[in-house]
Structure 1
Amino acid sequence: MPVKWLLVSMMMGTAVPAYSSGLYLYEIATEDTGLAGAGQAARAQDASTIMTNPAGMTRLPDRMITGGLQMLYGDTPYSLDNDAVVQGKSPGNTIGWFPGASMFYHQQLTDDISAGIGLYGNYGLGLDFGNWAGDRLIKKSTLVGMTLSPALAWKINDRLSWGVGLGINYGFLSLTRNVDGQDAKQSDHDWALNFRTGLLFNITDATRVGVNYTSKTEYHFAIDGKARFPQQPNAEYTLPLSAQINTPDQLMLSLVHDFNQRWSIMGDLGWQNWSQYGGNQISISGQGAPTNNRLQDTWHTALGVQFRPDDRWRLNSGIAYDSSFYQNQNDTSMTMPSGEAWRFGVGAQYQLTEASNIGAAFEYLTMESSRVSSPLFKGGYNNPDIYFFSMNYSYMF
């Protein structure tokens, strides 16, 4: 999903994906936040459509720039069970505050061809376990993912448009742990390419449907995830770093219907291919838990409403649901606190001048609890919550 947490195990994204379905976050400091992402592949009301569906650029004015700032607060406390193998202090909240930003530019090249470029981060997050019982295995982890995306769109005819975008992705991963009383930090970075392509079809003058496909992104980091504990000198524990640093391919279908000049309704149906990344758990002396693929594909649905009381205001509200990428919430990874998620968003846009508008949005994301069944640091995340606060600005020239 795509909730989409953008929170897969070691992450801290530039704009931060919500925790929801792993690493992806839909929230990138745009108007979509107030709609809980509803209609994202068909709305095309600002230059951020470069990310959600590049075909939407054909609906924009000659030149347009859209930028946004965002803060999220994650309330994701991890509590150890009393019978954990390694006794000690629980980590408490593992996320806290994290900032994000995005910027998009669009330009019409001809009557039928448009181009644009975006810089954003909707992938990654950070976990901070602090000084706790398992700080020899993990104390802090950060995954920062940034994407530079040039895109083109072609207006095939008055009803159909097609767009394609390239993702030039930069990833930075760091892992900090306690080694003999001192903080030891490892880090690495990598570049990866992916692409997205989309169609936008006007069924009628009042109804349009959009579909957007985004390919997977795979990073390769040279990080040693192995650790030992004085209480168990013959056992070697290894953090799972494979699935946490990849994002699966995803498909999003969106619809927008304008009832009249004031009211519009919009919705989404989405899918993410998380099952391709298999199991994800701490292994002990090279042996993982006796489980096959603990991950499964995720599904996303959203419904939003937009109300325009006059020519200056645009009011947004939306709700979204994402399924969990875990097959069993009682057998999850400590470094991937995720589950089925609900999003609730509200926002408003104000037309400052004929060429510019400014907006603000708030979204509340709540996830189901998850339990870690591994004998090491058994415990769980009890009803994690994330709060998004964002502002955006668009200028046409």
Structure 2
Amino acid sequence: MRRLALLLVMGVPMLTQASGLYLYEIGTEDVGLAGAGQAARAQDASTLMTNPAGMTRLPDHMLTTGLQALYGDTPYTLDSDAALKGNSPGNTIGWFPAASMFYHQRINDRWSAGIGLYGNYGLGLDFGNWAGEQLIKKSTLLAMTLSPAVAWKINDRLSWGLGLGINYGFLSLTRNVDGQDAKTTDHDWALNFRTGLLMQVTDATRVGLAYTSKTQYHFNVAPEVRFPQLNNLSWRLPISAEVNAPDQLMLSVVHDLNPQWSLLGDLGWQNWSTYGSNQITVNGQVPARENKLQDTWHTAFGVQFRPDDQWRFNTGIAYDSSFYKDQDDTSMTMPSGAAWRYGIGAQYQLTASSNIGAAFEYVNMASSSVSSPLLKGTYHDPNLYFFSMNYSYQF
């Protein structure tokens, strides 16, 4: 009994970090650039999220919307020596939709304001009918952000912006209890902020620096776990978890070679080690555990080509280091690793005041393995595919 309880507690930190991924992709033009130049591009109202200082470069009124579909190919296979014997889950993500909307308005020659609604954190996982369905069958961690923001044009070369994030988080965990699905949920509200600077270094080069603070969610669930394989033993685990979306710093540059060609680049940092230190309480006690996560670094390079006044073509490549210290000791509900992003997209000017765009991005992540004896297994060569469309209207 005591040994089984220990195994369960070992699994709890993994489950309470359910499907947390911090995404750059929200259905905007950045998808086709693999995010390159995101804090300096400022070509539509979505700059409110990437760097609010960029709003000072926009026309008097602008609306930007985005639609996105994510498909995840993330098959998980149990090892032969895993404590739970039986079927492996197979692909755990599948299709996942997203949408975003941003509005900007110039107040006067110096000040601009805007508001955005988007989601770029969390993910849904579906393990289906598998050997560990008493532990987890489905998990969903969703976060939506409503963000009002202001920007100040300090002078002709330098702008500053500040945005508030009003974040709603939702956690859902489904297990098989006595042959039926048992679902537990909780939700929470949290605040964070975003601030940035945008500098026009020369007539052809601008640099953006943006910082986003971490977001703290507090969830409480009380799942019951029953193991037919172990004399039908039942265990109820009241779980309280503090989940942190990491703070990040992004430095971006855009350089116009000429009226047709532009080069874009990024260098970024995310504080994932704080996420790995989330506080978890089980039955009123804090289980001892090792922080498996580390800070990550991001770099990206992109190109824009404008052959005429109607078309703008984008492509980009990006690399993010893994937030795991050891790819052989990871979480089953966070399939991730060092990632390469490859994006391509196009924008078409419908009228003098509106444009529409489409983009595709492919993300290849390093394989990862779970060392926990109960669920020991491997995510082999996981991939993500993003399909997006965006529309902008200025008036």
TM superposition score normalised by structure 1: 0.91
Q: Counterpart of 2:190 in 1: which secondary structure?
A: strand
The answer to whether the 8 Å contact 1:280/1:294 transfers is no
Please give the alpha-carbon distance, in whole angstroms, between the structure 2 residues aligned to 1:341 and 1:261: 32
Match of 1:257 in 2: 255
Among 16, 35, 38, the residue aligned to 1:37:
35
Please give the alpha-carbon distance, in whole angstroms, between the structure 2 residues aligned to 1:393 and 1:378: 45
Please give the alpha-carbon distance, in whole angstroms, between the structure 1 residues aligned to 2:349 and 2:18: 39
Among 207, 217, 221, the residue aligned to 1:223:
221
Match of 2:107 in 1: 109
User: Quick check: 1:95 aligned with 2:96?
Assistant: no
TM-superposed deviation, 1:238: 6.7
Compare CA radii of gyration and give the structure with the larger one: 2
Match of 2:70 in 1: 72
Please give the alpha-carbon distance, in whole angstroms, between the structure 2 residues aligned to 1:146 and 1:89: 34
> How many equivalent pairs are there?
378
TM-superposed deviation, 1:227: 2.5
Please give the alpha-carbon distance, in whole angstroms, between the structure 2 residues aligned to 1:284 and 1:358: 50
AA aligned to 1:333 is S
Match of 1:18 in 2: none
Alignment root-mean-square deviation, CA: 2.2
Match of 1:10 in 2: 18
The answer to whether the 8 Å contact 2:177/2:224 transfers is no
Q: Counterpart of 1:231 in 2: which secondary structure?
A: helix
TM superposition score normalised by structure 2: 0.91
The answer to whether the 8 Å contact 1:240/1:280 transfers is no
Match of 1:16 in 2: none
TM-superposed deviation, 1:152: 0.0
TM-superposed deviation, 1:229: 1.7
TM-superposed deviation, 1:287: 9.0
Return closer, same or farther for 1:73/1:162 CA change in 2, 3 Å cut-off. Answer: same
The answer to whether the 8 Å contact 1:236/1:284 transfers is no
- What are structure 2's unaligned runs of at least 5 residues? 1-15
Cα shift readout 1:171-217 (whole Å, capped 9, x = no counterpart):
11111100011110011111000000000001001100001000000
- What are structure 1's unaligned runs of at least 5 residues? 1-7, 12-21
Match of 1:298 in 2: 296
Return closer, same or farther for 1:241/1:226 CA change in 2, 3 Å cut-off. Answer: farther
Match of 1:27 in 2: 25
Match of 2:9 in 1: none
TM-superposed deviation, 1:10: 2.9
TM-superposed deviation, 1:294: 1.1
Please give the alpha-carbon distance, in whole angstroms, between the structure 2 residues aligned to 1:334 and 1:113: 46
Cα shift readout 1:30-88 (whole Å, capped 9, x = no counterpart):
00000000000000000000000000000000000000111110000100011111101
TM-superposed deviation, 1:278: 3.2
Q: Counterpart of 2:351 in 1: which secondary structure?
A: coil
Match of 2:3 in 1: none
Give percent identity, aligned residues only: 74
Cα shift readout 1:246-279 (whole Å, capped 9, x = no counterpart):
2011000000000110000010000011112336
Please give the alpha-carbon distance, in whole angstroms, between the structure 2 residues aligned to 1:240 and 1:280: 13
Match of 1:172 in 2: 170
Return closer, same or farther for 1:183/1:163 CA change in 2, 3 Å cut-off. Answer: same
Match of 1:204 in 2: 202
Please give the alpha-carbon distance, in whole angstroms, between the structure 1 residues aligned to 2:113 and 2:266: 25
Q: Counterpart of 1:321 in 2: which secondary structure?
A: strand
The answer to whether the 8 Å contact 1:113/1:152 transfers is yes
Return closer, same or farther for 1:282/1:110 CA change in 2, 3 Å cut-off. Answer: closer
The answer to whether the 8 Å contact 2:184/2:223 transfers is no
The answer to whether the 8 Å contact 1:35/1:305 transfers is yes
The answer to whether the 8 Å contact 1:120/1:146 transfers is yes
Return closer, same or farther for 1:63/1:256 CA change in 2, 3 Å cut-off. Answer: same
Q: Counterpart of 1:352 in 2: which secondary structure?
A: strand
Return closer, same or farther for 1:26/1:239 CA change in 2, 3 Å cut-off. Answer: farther
